[in-house]
Amino acid sequence: MKNFLSSGATITLTSAGAKASGTPYVAGDLVGIAGHSALTNEPVVLHLIGEFELPKKTAEAWAIGATLYWDPATSVCTTTAGELKKIGNASVAALAADTAGIVRLSN
């Protein structure tokens, strides 16, 4: 196929702000995980598929399949949508006391 470019599992973009490896990154309606640390205006590889252990809002229990949103103000995943961007779904149940949970990205 002459028009195939990539699997789409990752994209490279210019970082709008400093990003640490393994942290969520919002680019328009895409939400992914930075594959490496990058400073503002540097290229960063954004992972768009996969499962990642990410910080979660404490006092929230997650059921398997729960829809999750990334809250950039508090740097945690939450089940409360509001104006937040969807990051994915819980692929493992999490207790309210847990500080991290397993998130399957969905883009």
Q: pLDDT tens-digit profile of 25-35?
A: 999 989 999 99
pLDDT score, position 50: 96
The mean pLDDT value for 84-106 works out to 97
For residues 38-62, average pLDDT: 96
% of residues, the chain, pLDDT over 70: 100
CA distances from 53 to 37, 69, 90 (A): 17, 14, 10
- In this prediction, residue 107 has a pLDDT band, given cuts at 50, 70 and 90, of confident
- Is pTM beyond 0.85? Reply is yes
Overall average pLDDT of the 15-29 stretch: 93
**Does residue 103 carry a pLDDT above 90?**
yes
Instruction: Sheet containing 24-27: give its strands across.
Output: 10-14, 43-47, 30-34, 24-27
Measured in degrees and rounded to the nearest 5, phi and psi for residue 59 equal 80, 5
**Is 1 a residue whose pLDDT tops 90?**
no
